[in-house]
Amino acid sequence: MAKQEFSIPALAMQLDSEPAAYKMLEELRWGASGVVCPHCGSLGKHYFLNPANGTSRKTRTGSQSERRVWKCRDCRKQFSVLTGTIFHGTKIPVRTWIFVIFEMCASKNGVAAREIERKYDLTPKTAWFMLHRIREAMKREPLAGLLSGTIVADETWIGGNPKNKHRTTKGKQGLTDKQPVLSLIHKESGAVRSKVVPNVTGGTLPNAIREAVDVGSSTLHTDSAHAYILVGREFVEHGFVNHNNGEYARDGISTNAAEGYFSQLKRSLDGTQHHVSVEHLPRYLAEHDFRYTRPERQ
C-alpha cells in the first residue's frame, strides 16, 4: 500500500462502504492471480452472484446483503473472500474488522478489548472475541520460517509479584509463580519468536530453540545460564556475557536486544491489558512478536 493509506482518515475514505471493504480483502488475498475457490482450489472457474454494480443483492430469504459472493463452476459451492479466514461466519461489518486490525498493528502498546468496545459500539464479548481471533492469525508456525543468523536468546517472567497475591490464593498450584517466557531475536533484522515455557531448565529451552532456529547455520548469543550450554554447542558459535560479573556487552555479544523487547512487552501488558492469563498469554506474545517484527523483517 502507498504511504498515505497507513492512516485512519485515508482508510476511512477508501472503505466508504461494505463492498469496498470486501474488495480490499479480495485484492489482499487473491491479488493479480485472480479469484481462487477456497473449497476446491479452482482458479478462474467461478461467477459473481452480486448485481453487475457489485453492491447489495437479495438473498433467498428476501433480505438485502452487501456480502460479495461467488459460486464455483467445479464444486458448485458458494464462497466469498471471508471463507476459510478468521472472518468466516462473522456478523460484524468487514469494515470494522479492518479498522480494528489497523489499530492493533499501528498501536505500539496494543489496544484493549474495552477500548475497541467503546470505539466501535460492540459488546464486551464481541470485542474480546475479535481481538483474540486477530491474535491467533498473527501466530507464526515454527517451520514457516526458521530463524537463521545471529540469534539472541533470553528469558523473562510475566506476571505480578507473588507476594502481592491475595492470601487465599497463596500456596495454590499455578497461582504463586510467574510464567517464564523465552524470546529469540534475530539480531540483524529484529524478528522475534516468543514462546511460553514451563521452566527455564536445560531440558526445556534447547527444544524450544531448535523449534524456531536453524541451529546448524546460526550463531547464538545468551547470558551465562547453564541451560544454554549444551544447545550452544550445536550452533556455529555460541557467545555469552556474564551478568553476575556486571558484563552486559563484549565484542559485539550481548542480550540487549532481548532486554529491549521485554521492556516494551511488559509496558504493553501492564499498561494496556493490565492482566493476562497464562491460558491466553501465547496469543498476546504472538501479537507483540508480530508488531515488533516489521513486515520487511519476516
What pLDDT, on a 0 to 100 scale, did the predictor assign at position 7? 86
Tell the residue number behind the cell numbers 464462497, with chain if given. Answer: 79
Full pLDDT tens readout for the chain, 298 residues? 444 457 889 999 999 999 999 999 999 999 888 899 999 999 988 888 876 555 666 665 656 677 888 899 999 999 999 999 999 989 999 999 999 999 999 998 999 999 999 999 999 999 999 999 999 999 877 556 799 999 999 999 998 666 666 655 554 444 446 899 999 999 998 899 999 999 999 999 999 999 999 999 999 999 999 999 999 999 999 999 999 888 999 999 999 999 999 999 999 999 999 889 999 999 999 999 999 986 544 4
What pLDDT, on a 0 to 100 scale, did the predictor assign at position 50? 73
190-217 residue pLDDT tens: 899 999 999 999 999 999 999 999 999 9
* Residue-range domains of the chain with CATH: 3-137 (no CATH), 143-297 (3.30.420.10)
What pLDDT, on a 0 to 100 scale, did the predictor assign at position 32? 84
HSE, side-chain direction, 13 A CA sphere, residue 19 = 13
Concatenating the DSSP letter of every residue in the chain gives --GGGSSHHHHHHH--SHHHHHHHHHHHHTGGG--B-TTT--BS-EEE-S-TT-S-EE-TTS-EE----EEETTT--EE-TTTTSTTTT--S-HHHHHHHHHHHHH-TT---HHHHHHHHT--HHHHHHHHHHHHHHT---GGGS-B-SEEEEEEEEES--GGGS-TTTTTSTTTSSPEEEEEEEETTT--EEEEE-S--STTTHHHHHHHHB-GGG-EEEEES-GGGHHHHTTSSEEEEE-GGGT--EETTEESHHHHHHHHHHHHHIIIIIS---TTTHHHHHHHHHHHHS-GGG-
The Cα–Cα gap between 217 and 73 comes to 48
What pLDDT, on a 0 to 100 scale, did the predictor assign at position 3? 47
What pLDDT, on a 0 to 100 scale, did the predictor assign at position 48? 84
pTM: 0.85
What pLDDT, on a 0 to 100 scale, did the predictor assign at position 39? 94
What pLDDT, on a 0 to 100 scale, did the predictor assign at position 5? 54
85-129 residue pLDDT tens: 999 989 999 999 999 999 999 998 999 999 999 999 999 999 999
